[in-house]
Each structure stands twice: as C-alpha cells, then as structure tokens.
Amino acid sequence: MLPVKISFSNLVHTNHSCTGIGLGIAQVASMANEKLGDQVEIQIFQRPEDFSTYLEQGTPKIACFSNFIWNKNLSIEFSERIKRKSPETIIVFGGPNYPLDSQGQEEFLRSDRVIDFYIFREGESAFLGLFSKLKEFGFDVPKLKETGLKIPNTHYLSGESFIQGDLLPQLKNLDEIPSPYLTGLCDHLLEQNFIPMVETKRGCPFKCTFCESGDDHYNRIFSFSFERSKEELNYLAKKSKSSVCMVTDLNFGMYKDDIDFCKEIALVQKQYKWPKRFFGINGKNNKERVIHAASLVEGATVSAAIQSTDEAVLKSVKRSNISLDQMIQMAKGKESKETYESGSFSELILCLPGGTYKAHLKSIRELIDAGLGMVRSHQFIMLPGAEASSRETRKQFDLQSQFRVVPHTVSDYRLFEESFNAPEIDEICVGSGTMPHSDYLECRLMDLTVEIFYNNGLFREFFNLLILNGILVSDLIFNIYEKVREKNGPLEPVYKNFLKDTKELWNTKEEVSEFLSTPEVIRRYQNGELGNNEQLMYRGQAMFKYMDELHKIVFEQTKKLLLKKFSLDDQKFSYLEELAEFSLMRKQNVFAVDHRPQKLFHFDFANLMDGDFNDDPGKNFRPNGIEILLSHTESQKDEILKFLKLHSKEYELGNIMSTGNSFENFFRKPSTVS
C-alpha cells in the first residue's frame, strides 16, 4: 500500500515580517511522522512558491494548515484551489486564530466550508486520532461525517450539526513529541534563513484576557527535558543560516531551568558563534532570575509586554497578579533608574478594556521616566482565540472595532496556472465605553510622537542632559507633542498623513473585501501607497526627510525646560547649541556614506559619546576648541549599502528601527583631528 501523502503548511506571505519557523505545526508533523511511520509521506512548507511547486507535481491526500491572523486567507486560497483540483483531498486547519465559544466556532467553519476538520488546542495527539478515524473510514470524509463521530480536539460540520470532540488534557510528557529539527524535517527551512523557534516548556499561569494563552486550559506548565533542548540547540547552531534564535515559551527566564538553558546557549555561542541575537526572554515575574538569564546570553533582548501601568486597566484584563514594578525593572535589565537605558524594551496596547486617554498617556510617561529606552504602543487586535474578543467582553466594555488589511500581505501567488492574491484582514479595537474614538486617535498621534522622538534613542544625548539636571525626560516628549500638534508646523504633513492612514479602516470584513476587489487597489497596496504599518512608515519618513526639523524642535524644547528650572550660563547654552549641531551632523542624510562633515567644537563630544553622554559636559569643555570629524566606518558603509539594496521603497525605511538600536548603528562616528 502506498503511503498517504500529507502536507503541513505554515504559509508566510512573501513580504510579511513573520519569518520564524512554524514550530507548532512542525511538531504535529514530527509526531505523525514518527508514530505513523511508513503509512505516511510528510513534507513541511512555509514559502508559498515552494508549496505551489509541490502541488503542481501532485496533490496530497491530507493538506494541513496553521491558522494565524497573518496567514489565514492565504491558507484558505490555497485550500480552495486544492479542492477544485482534487476534491478528495482532506483539508485540516489548526491554530489559535479560532473562536473560543461554540457559536463562533460553528460560524467560522460555515464561513469557510473548504475546511473539512479543525483541530482545537494542542494538535499532536489530536491529529493522530483524526488520522486513525479517517483511515478507518477509508479516508471517505462524507461517510465519516455522516456518523457524527466525536473525535478528540476535532471540530467539523455534519449537515446542520456542529460536531465537537471532547477536549484532550495538556500533554504532560513533552518529550513524546519528536523534535522536528533533530528529525531533519525542518532542514530546508533552516537553509532558507527562517528563524529557528525553540520551545522548552508549554503553558502559562497568567490569565490575560487579550492573549490566546490566557485560557484556563493552558494554566499548567510542562517542560521538555533539558537534554532534548540542549541537543536541539547544538543542532541548530550547526544548521541554521539565520543569525537569530527565538524561544517561544510564554514566560522564559522566570523558571530555574531557564538559567541552565541560557548557560547552554552561552556555551553554544562560544563554540559556534551562534546565535548573534536571542529573543524571547519575557518572564513576567521573578525579576532577578529573568535579568540573570538575559545577562548570560550575548545579544539577548528582554521584552516586557507591560500593556498598561493603570491599575483599573490591568484589573479589566486580569493582569493584576503580575508585578508591574518587576516587569519594568526586568525590561531595564538592572536596578538603577539614574540613566537612560537605550536597549531596554517595553510594549503597551492601546484601547484595552477599561482603557482611557488619561491612562494611556500615564503609562507612556511612567515608562519613559522609569528609564526604558523603547516604549512601543500596539493596536489592540481582537484575536478570535482570546477572551477579550468574546461577545461578553465586547458588551461589558462597549468595545468598538473596525477592520483593516494586515500590512504586507497583498502579494501575487500562482497555483495551477491561476494567479491570485490573499490579503489578510484583522479586527482592531478603535474605541470603547471609556475611550471615545476621538481619544483613540489622539493616543495614536501621541504614540507616533514617542516613536519619532523617543524610541531607539535618537535623541539620547538630550535626554541624558536633562537627567543630569534633574528634569524628567517625559516632560520633553510631552512638550514636543504639544509643539508638533500646532497648526502649520514643520511636521504637519507627517502627522496629517499618519492620521489619514490610521483611518484606513472599514466597519466589516465584507467592506474590506469589496475594496480589495479591483486590480488598481491591489496595485496600490503592492507599491506601498496603502496598507503600511503607519507608525514605522511615518517614523522613517520623519527621520529621513525631516532630521533638521526634528533637531530644531528638540533643541527648542530642551532649552525651554532648562530655562524653566534655572538660568543658562554661557557655557551651558553653548554646550546645548553645539550638542544639537554635533547630533545633526552625525544623523542627517545618514545614508550619504561619502559625506564626512568636520567642525571645531568647544566640547569633547568624542569623549562624551564614549561615556554615553552621562558625564558632566563642563568636564569636557575645551576652551581652545577641538576639531572633530564625523564619518562612517567601512563596516557601516557595507551595512548601509546592503540595506539600500534590500529596501528601496520609501515605506520600508521605517523597518530598520523596528527593534533594538539598529538605526543608531548607521550614525557617523566621531574622531578628533589633530
């Protein structure tokens, strides 16, 4: 008997930012591959073009798809074409982009009838159970469905009936799941530069309502063995073409064995020089351990998903059992609040249940003054698999939502001699009983101000000057916000267009689909005219087109704050003026690699920069002057040229500032001229 061909696809849109290996569906495939052995022939796909090539050569008996908000429509479009070509192919979906309530689940399946079965919650054992029943019925789907048989963790439609199998408990012995890496199933993905995702444990003790893992089903924690994780890590170090590694654990760094894993990463880095960057240290409590974990790994980033600092909001989203102070300190990476932390990272969510304009601005101010170098605000996406999206929560908090096209999901695809697009559509909250839509828009404008003037430390020199003089950095950012909102200001086009794009929303999915139905609209999305990440795009536009204006605004507002506290003497005023000029020379026209400005300054800015501008400027005063040359290093020139080859479109310029300090790496370096 020939083996049953099964495809497992975690399809990723060509230009989308989700470039991690789909570990969840890969683990389902790995389990099936081991348990079913010669009965099956399994392959895993992520790139749509690779999947198309595979399908052109012959359709599988079972086609499985992961379902996330960023790939659902793409998977549906492929499924429909597979069904037309091969009606007997069985379509199986699974993943978190699926409602929690029975009514919503049934509506989901009735709206996409191409899906034969949906696997709810963990998929490894559930898929084996489904395969067993399909085999028992000779892979005759209508015949199986006629029985109304309940298959664990499996949902399907049988005529007018919605069939739900009993829910399996969490898998306790995770080592039962063969590693999709060690078995070689993901070798081709590692070769294609997809980021390896590793999992050391499953489950989360917290109940955050905006998160798909906040459900009680996931509240117990189970772990893979250390030996299994260690073997995976060493395998990836040898095979991965990506310089990045990411852990998917929901609270990594919070547990004792996370320290052992970080020590192993450090050993791997020493032996293989891999990974260069490590993401996913995101434990929500146990501050000391999380900071210790991050300190062990070179290139590690601690992410603090703080969401809000307002107690009422935190209570509304069931987050009150998480220590806010500890999360802030973890994001900073150390106890001191005396210096600005350029590499620290925190995230807020706008328009959460119970959120207000005042509460959102309060969160921004408190995180800035805590010394966090990145305060990024996200839209509140109404995830179908999260409690906050339930009918009850929407009604309780009067949540008002609209729909948008997910950025960078409008690419061209081809299968069976047919070209098509598959734009993804998600739902975001744009108002509530406590936050009118007008307040939501004002918060969005404030978030853009934080992105432009605060995040990634573009003006860290000025921040540290204020700190040295006992002035809050948040006062500067909030004063800047008032300034840029004035009519006929230099940045008015940036804010006006940002607000216009922010309103690129529709009341229903059907309205979005109708708008996307013409080739002209598709073209506008593909050339970057529509459908961008507004914060990143307009931050990039401001930095690359308005750097002179940005400096003038920061200089003016910094001077006002200093004058408000005390009179500026000649030396302090001269320092501020020269600081603004030095900063602009470093950062303006940053891609002009042959531009090497030089000037006589009266402060040793090269020495001040070595000290991250934490030293007293007066100690670096040079009355006779010091000649400073600003230029790019050879390695900087190489990086800039590589970037420009990859990102030629204007809307892509903001991408280089999306994480960490990458934009700062392009600034010219100072050197003294004798």
List of domains in the chain? 4-164 (3.40.50.280), 566-672 (no CATH)
Strand partners, 66: 94
Query: At 62, which helix (H) or strand (E)?
Result: strand 62-66
Whole-structure pTM value: 0.90
Strand partners, 426: 404
Angle (CA) 214-216-217 rounded to 5° is 105
pLDDT attached to residue 457: 84
Query: At 250, which helix (H) or strand (E)?
Result: none
Contact 280, 302 (CB under 8 A): no
Rounded to the nearest 5 percent, the helix, strand and coil shares of the chain are: 45, 15, 35
* Residues of the chain scoring pLDDT < 70: 214, 320-324, 327, 330-344, 646-662
Phi and psi torsions of 665, nearest 5°: -65, -15
- Roughly how many angstroms between the first and final C-alpha of the chain, as a whole number? 82
Residues 6+ apart with CB under 8 A from 487: none
pLDDT attached to residue 341: 45
Phi and psi torsions of 516, nearest 5°: -85, 5
pLDDT attached to residue 337: 36
In angstroms, the CA 667 to CA 665 distance is 6
pLDDT attached to residue 660: 41
pLDDT attached to residue 340: 42
Question: Distance of alpha carbon 451 from its chain centroid, rounded?
Answer: 15
Contact 100, 213 (CB under 8 A): no
For residue 467 the two structure tokens come to 């700190």
Contact 11, 64 (CB under 8 A): no
For residue 382 the two structure tokens come to 């109404």
Looking up tokens 């399907």 gives 156
Helix (H/G/I), strand (E/B), else coil: 652: helix
Alpha-carbon torsion (633, 638, 639, 640), positive or negative: positive
Query: At 415, which helix (H) or strand (E)?
Result: strand 413-415
Contact 247, 218 (CB under 8 A): no
pLDDT attached to residue 303: 74
Helix (H/G/I), strand (E/B), else coil: 70: coil
Strand partners, 413: 420
